[in-house]
Amino acid sequence: MEREKIYGKTKLVSGADSNGIKECAEHLVSGEVVAFPTETVYGLGANAFDAGAVEKIFAAKGRPSDNPLICHIGDKALIKDIVSEITPLAQKLIDAFMPGPVTVIMKKSDKIPAEVTAGLDTVGVRMPSDPVANEFLKACNVPVAAPSANLSGTPSPTNARAVMEDMDGYVYAVIDGGDSVFGLESTVVDATGEKPVILRPGAITKADIEACASGEAAFAGTLEAGQTPKAPGMKYRHYAPFANVEIMDMPKGAKLIGDESDDAAPSEVKKPDFDTMSEDDRQALVDIASPFIHREKELLKANPFARVGIFAGVEVKALYEKLGDKILLAHTEFYEYGNALDVRSAAHSLFEGLRHLDCQEVDTILAQGLTGGGMATAYMNRLEKAAGKKGELLPGMPKPERPSRGELPLEAFKDTFTAQILFADDDNTCLSQACEAIMTGLIEKNAPYDMLVSRDIGCELYCESAGITASDGAVCDEGIIKAVSEETGRNISHCRSTRADPALYDASDIIITVRDEHAFEIIKAFPQIKDKVFSLSTFAASCGLVFKDANGRLVSVSIPDPRGENEATYSHTVKALKAWLELLFPYLIKAVGAERA
């Protein structure tokens, strides 16, 4: 299915804007696609009575249209228009769990076109409990057919920004209702028979359903060839980030928090305190964190350039920090969801965590496995699919791509801090100016940033250059101006040299020199700042980035001064600097306490 942008810009409507929501509802009823929040994940909605409108959903998602959609309602009175029969079991489920994170499959009515149900004679009905969803669906007053609002195959969106990343330009509007409470899609239950069959596990657990149906519930089996998929992920690639995902088992016998409660509230997060904790608690923590550390060490042994994302509880990062292995830490990006064994928190953050780690450009994500019978079943169902990932990629289905995160205004943060990277050389008219230009481009391209230790604090990153022996105000070398312009499109002809001085060193969070001797000179003059002064090669080494040639010999980073050489040498020099800085970029921003937001 060809994906084609049909809007210049998708409207972003606040969940507090009643008029905006009404206007979205009018557009939906008249055939447009609108994304809306729910307590599970965001949905991509169209008028379920309008086959043409429903087709637009498939076009926007790049999704095969043999996957049936759920009809969402804001009022139970609409159910009679969607289904032709409500079995006693279906009625019980409706009474017990709607509004809430459940989808009940019933026999469909003739009013629902085949486009919605992929030709099946059944249809899923869901009434979300999210207040913004409810207001919007009530205003629509027609059943709203909606899949999750992600690009087919990628992690489902649990906030408006994630929807915008996948859908900007492809749908009429996105209604922003904040973070989805549960973070995993609804429990899908087939209630056409006497016995409930769970097609997809969710926050309404098997035990919940059994209690309601006063009888046993079954889980549906996997798909046979040629069958239309009944539940998502049975046939196609699903929930998968770009990075490989591996599941780290939880310790045997450990007890989950929140597995069977229907309270979505996360448990209070306790940062472990190694000094005061009991021997048993310490052992429990080591048992949780060890599989991650062990596996990451293996990955780094196989590839010293591996970048690893960790989706886990606060305990895991705490143990990494306690170990204090700088090289291990340099290669690791953490997404902490709360307490390690709190399955509600893990579920709430899973999809957002996968998206976030993907954008830190990790190759592998090690994710906490959580085994249990309630919410953990739903969590592992999604995580296992994300880890399996490969699934069938149909013609026209979007190829997996490393996502870039959408815009995030600085006002989105509680606070902001600034960090500065300084490039230094001798006279600041050549190599350090080239580095500044390249790095500034990288900073712009990868923005926005937040604080490594607190995602709700934004970061403004700056880059400067200076020379140890520079005189102020000298113009750049002609050759470097030309090469930088050709390789990066940036014009540095207006840049003037600055002399490096203690005030500038003070204002910089890290100081990088191209050549080793300049770093040594700075450290010799100012030994008290030695921890933040590196050359390109000593910085790479400090991150464990070791280079070997085909014969296994160590290769050091050395970039000669191109001045006095021909044009080709200048061009090679800038190319080499660019390759270096691109490689070091994630390590550099981490060294100054920032990450991509």
Contacted entry of Mg ion, ligand TXA, none for residue 339, CB cut-off 5 to 8 Å set by kind: none
Rg of the chain (C-alpha set): 27
Our CB check for Mg ion shows the closer of 147 and 448 to be 147
Cβ neighbours of 582 (radius 10 Å) = 14
Among candidates 341, 335, 332, 340, which has minimal Cα distance to 354?
335
Our CB check for Mg ion shows the closer of 148 and 381 to be 148
| Both tokens assigned to 67 | 């996957």
| Both tokens assigned to 37 | 């929040």
The answer to whether residue 38 forms part of the interface with ligand TXA (CB under 6 A) is yes
**DSSP-derived 3-state class of residue 47:** strand
The answer to whether residue 68 forms part of the interface with ligand TXA (CB under 6 A) is yes
The answer to whether residue 154 forms part of the interface with Mg ion (CB under 5 A) is no
Contacted entry of Mg ion, ligand TXA, none for residue 581, CB cut-off 5 to 8 Å set by kind: none
| Both tokens assigned to 111 | 């009013």
Among candidates 19, 3, 2, 20, which has minimal Cα distance to 11?
20
Least separation in angstroms between residue 32's CB and Mg ion is: 20
Residue ranges of alpha helices (H) inside 360-423 are 375-388
Sequence-distant (6+) residues with CB within 8 A of 409 are none
Our CB check for ligand TXA shows the closer of 70 and 257 to be 70
Contacted entry of ligand TXA, Mg ion, none for residue 229, CB cut-off 5 to 8 Å set by kind: ligand TXA
Our CB check for ligand TXA shows the closer of 229 and 388 to be 229
Least separation in angstroms between residue 391's CB and ligand TXA is: 13
| C-alpha span between 87 and 84 (Å, rounded) | 10
| Both tokens assigned to 24 | 């979205």
The answer to whether residue 176 forms part of the interface with ligand TXA (CB under 6 A) is no
**DSSP-derived 3-state class of residue 327:** helix
Contacted entry of ligand TXA, Mg ion, none for residue 186, CB cut-off 5 to 8 Å set by kind: ligand TXA
49 to each of 55, 111, 238, 493, how far by Cα in Å? 12, 7, 27, 61
Q: What angle do CA 96, 101, 102 make, to 5 degrees?
A: 60
Sequence-distant (6+) residues with CB within 8 A of 120 are 68, 108, 228, 230
The window from 4-12, 166-174, 182-190, 390-398 that contacts ligand TXA (CB under 6 A) reads: 182-190
Least separation in angstroms between residue 180's CB and ligand TXA is: 9
Least separation in angstroms between residue 250's CB and ligand TXA is: 25
Which position among 103, 148, 154, 345 is part of the footprint of Mg ion (CB under 5 A)? 148
Our CB check for Mg ion shows the closer of 232 and 338 to be 232
Least separation in angstroms between residue 147's CB and Mg ion is: 5
For the segment 225-254, give every residue that binds Mg ion (CB under 5 A). Answer: 232
Our CB check for ligand TXA shows the closer of 73 and 318 to be 73
The answer to whether residue 122 forms part of the interface with Mg ion (CB under 5 A) is no
Q: What is the DSSP string of 261-277?
A: ----PPPPP----TTT-
Our CB check for Mg ion shows the closer of 236 and 534 to be 236
- Cβ atoms 342, 258 nearer than 8 A: yes
Least separation in angstroms between residue 60's CB and ligand TXA is: 13
Our CB check for ligand TXA shows the closer of 231 and 341 to be 231
The window from 10-18, 225-233, 524-532, 564-572 that contacts ligand TXA (CB under 6 A) reads: 225-233
Least separation in angstroms between residue 186's CB and ligand TXA is: 3
- Cβ atoms 597, 405 nearer than 8 A: yes
The window from 33-41, 346-354, 355-363, 566-574 that contacts ligand TXA (CB under 6 A) reads: 33-41
Q: What is the DSSP letter of 44?
A: E
Cα dihedral across residues 452, 455, 456, 460: positive or negative: positive
Contacted entry of ligand TXA, Mg ion, none for residue 125, CB cut-off 5 to 8 Å set by kind: none
Least separation in angstroms between residue 176's CB and ligand TXA is: 15
Contacted entry of Mg ion, ligand TXA, none for residue 159, CB cut-off 5 to 8 Å set by kind: none
SS (H, E, C) 561-594: CCCCCCHHHHHHHHHHHHHHHHHHHHHHHHHCCE
Q: What is the DSSP string of 242-264?
A: SSEEEEEPPPTT---BSSS----
Our CB check for ligand TXA shows the closer of 191 and 581 to be 191
For the segment 96-135, give every residue that binds ligand TXA (CB under 6 A). Answer: 103, 105, 117, 120, 122-124, 126
The answer to whether residue 145 forms part of the interface with ligand TXA (CB under 6 A) is no
Residues in the chain: 597
Which residue is listed with tokens 């070997």? 548
Number of residues binding to ligand TXA, judged by CB under 6 A: 27
The answer to whether residue 188 forms part of the interface with ligand TXA (CB under 6 A) is yes
**521: burial class by Cβ within 10 Å (0-12, 13-18, 19+)?**
middle
Among candidates 409, 490, 491, which has minimal Cα distance to 447?
409
Binding mask 153-172 for ligand TXA (x = CB under 6 A): --------------------
Contacted entry of Mg ion, ligand TXA, none for residue 188, CB cut-off 5 to 8 Å set by kind: ligand TXA
| C-alpha span between 471 and 522 (Å, rounded) | 17
Contacted entry of Mg ion, ligand TXA, none for residue 126, CB cut-off 5 to 8 Å set by kind: ligand TXA
Which residue is listed with tokens 């949905």? 43
Contacted entry of Mg ion, ligand TXA, none for residue 230, CB cut-off 5 to 8 Å set by kind: ligand TXA
The answer to whether residue 43 forms part of the interface with ligand TXA (CB under 6 A) is yes
Least separation in angstroms between residue 276's CB and Mg ion is: 44
The answer to whether residue 199 forms part of the interface with ligand TXA (CB under 6 A) is yes
Sequence-distant (6+) residues with CB within 8 A of 503 are none
Our CB check for Mg ion shows the closer of 232 and 403 to be 232
| C-alpha span between 579 and 573 (Å, rounded) | 10
The answer to whether residue 38 forms part of the interface with Mg ion (CB under 5 A) is no
For the segment 307-326, give every residue that binds Mg ion (CB under 5 A). Answer: none
SS (H, E, C) 212-237: HHCCCCEECCCCCCCCCCCCCCCCEC
Q: List contacts with Mg ion (CB under 5 A).
A: 148, 232
Q: List contacts with ligand TXA (CB under 6 A).
A: 38, 40-41, 43, 67-70, 103, 105, 117, 120, 122-124, 126, 146-148, 185-186, 188, 199, 229-232
